[in-house]
């Protein structure tokens, strides 16, 4: 079984993250939608467009949301608990069948492709939970990330160590023994081993200190500068929007607000409802 198959079997049942109160309690979605229309995205590098979907035969969790990002851009999804952020990520990665809508990568419709096939197309996903193999060493985790490759992976491993220097020192240590921030570095590094063009991160800074968060965001910016598209869900909404080229506020599986990170940070309604004023 590949690690992506293992991830698929998880299907998000364990998606409960840590400190999750962002005070967005009484928001009225439908009445307050941002005037800005859903983004014109049909030609964007990565697009999940008008996505509708849910789990099994259950109700739709995604109610037509659209997420898009260009090459080398950082797109950030924020929103209250249970809004469907992780579900949207799973849909874009092919871990959830869409009832309506589509996912396109570089102009190609990939809506029906399996996650493995999307990895082969250049997508990489770091899920919110269980994103490393704790009993394996750091380096074994990186090697697992390269499972699809038949070529020499040593240069990519060096690149990951160049990005996350502490991992080089810890490369023989079981990943489960590392700090929370270092484990997230392993997870991101493992995803980079397929040399993706799209890196998807579901709450990469969950449970880490503000300093570690800042460091991780700096590395994410560095990755984007190499031309890799970043699609990221973040609970640290304000900090994440500061580095976002595009920001999406999801509420009840729909686009409540869309704009550049700066626009969303400046929007009084977004500030009041999602950023604590």
Ligand X SMILES: Nc1ncnc2c1ncn2[C@@H]1O[C@H](COP(=O)(O)OP(=O)(O)OP(=O)(O)O)[C@@H](O)[C@H]1O
- Could you give the CA distance from residue 273 to residue 66 in angstroms, rounded to a whole number? 20
Q: Is residue 86 within the footprint of ligand X (CB under 6 A)?
A: yes
Q: Is residue 49 within the footprint of ligand X (CB under 6 A)?
A: no
CA angle in degrees (0–180, nearest 5) for 207-215-115 = 65
Of 57 and 150, nearer to ligand X (C-beta) is 57
Tokens of 107: 């102009």
The continuous run of DSSP H or E covering 159 comes out as helix 154-163
Q: Is residue 53 within the footprint of ligand X (CB under 6 A)?
A: no
Q: Min. distance of Cβ 238 from ligand X in angstroms?
A: 16
Taking contact as CB under 6 A, which single stretch among the options 33-41, 77-85, 105-113, 115-123 is the one that binds ligand X? 77-85
- Could you give the CA distance from residue 171 to residue 135 in angstroms, rounded to a whole number? 13
Q: Min. distance of Cβ 43 from ligand X in angstroms?
A: 27
Of 167 and 264, nearer to ligand X (C-beta) is 264
CA angle in degrees (0–180, nearest 5) for 187-254-42 = 80
Q: Is residue 267 within the footprint of ligand X (CB under 6 A)?
A: no
Q: Min. distance of Cβ 165 from ligand X in angstroms?
A: 30
Token match 């999804």: residue? Answer: 77
Q: Is residue 83 within the footprint of ligand X (CB under 6 A)?
A: yes
Of 81 and 165, nearer to Mg ion (C-beta) is 81
| CB contact at 8 A, 98 and 53 | yes
Sole binder of ligand X in the list 2, 11, 134, 135 (CB under 6 A): 11
Sole binder of ligand X in the list 64, 72, 82, 176 (CB under 6 A): 82
Helix ranges (H only) for 115-153 are 115-120, 138-145
Q: Min. distance of Cβ 188 from Mg ion in angstroms?
A: 17
- Could you give the CA distance from residue 81 to residue 24 in angstroms, rounded to a whole number? 9
Q: Min. distance of Cβ 204 from Mg ion in angstroms?
A: 12
Task: Give me the residues that bind Mg ion (CB under 5 A), please.
Answer: 85-86, 128
- Could you give the CA distance from residue 185 to residue 138 in angstroms, rounded to a whole number? 10
Percent composition of the chain: helix, strand, coil (DSSP 3-state, to 5): 35, 20, 40
Q: Min. distance of Cβ 91 from Mg ion in angstroms?
A: 13
The residues of the shown chain that bind ligand X, judged by CB under 6 A, are 11-13, 15, 17, 20, 55, 58, 61, 79, 81-87
């Amino acid at each position: 079984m590949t690690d992506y198959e293992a991830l698929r079997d998880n299907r998000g049942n364990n998606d409960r993250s840590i400190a999750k109160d962002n005070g967005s309690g009484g928001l009225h979605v439908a009445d307050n939608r941002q005037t800005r229309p859903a983004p014109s995205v049909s030609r964007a590098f990565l697009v999940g467009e008008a996505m509708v979907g849910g789990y099994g035969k259950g109700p739709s969790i995604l109610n037509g949301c659209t997420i898009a990002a260009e090459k080398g851009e950082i797109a950030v999804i924020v929103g209250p608990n249970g809004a469907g952020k992780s579900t949207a990520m799973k849909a874009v990665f092919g871990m959830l069948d869409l009832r309506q809508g589509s996912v396109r990568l570089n102009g190609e419709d990939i809506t029906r492709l399996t996650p493995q096939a999307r990895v082969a197309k250049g997508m990489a996903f770091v899920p919110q939970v269980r994103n490393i193999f704790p009993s394996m060493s750091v380096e074994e985790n990186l090697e697992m990330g390269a499972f699809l490759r038949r070529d020499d992976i040593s240069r990519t491993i060096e690149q990951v160590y160049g990005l996350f220097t502490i991992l080089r020192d810890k490369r023989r240590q079981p990943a489960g023994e590392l700090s929370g921030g270092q484990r997230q570095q392993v997870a991101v590094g493992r995803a980079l081993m397929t040399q993706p063009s799209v890196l998807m991160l579901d709450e990469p800074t969950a449970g880490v200190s503000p300093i570690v968060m800042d460091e991780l965001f700096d590395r994410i910016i560095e990755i984007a500068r190499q031309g890799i598209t970043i699609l990221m869900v973040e609970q640290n909404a304000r900090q994440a929007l500061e580095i976002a080229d595009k920001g999406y506020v999801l509420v009840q599986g729909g686009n409540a607000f869309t704009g550049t990170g700066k626009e969303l940070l400046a929007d009084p309604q977004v500030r009041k409802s999602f950023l604590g004023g």
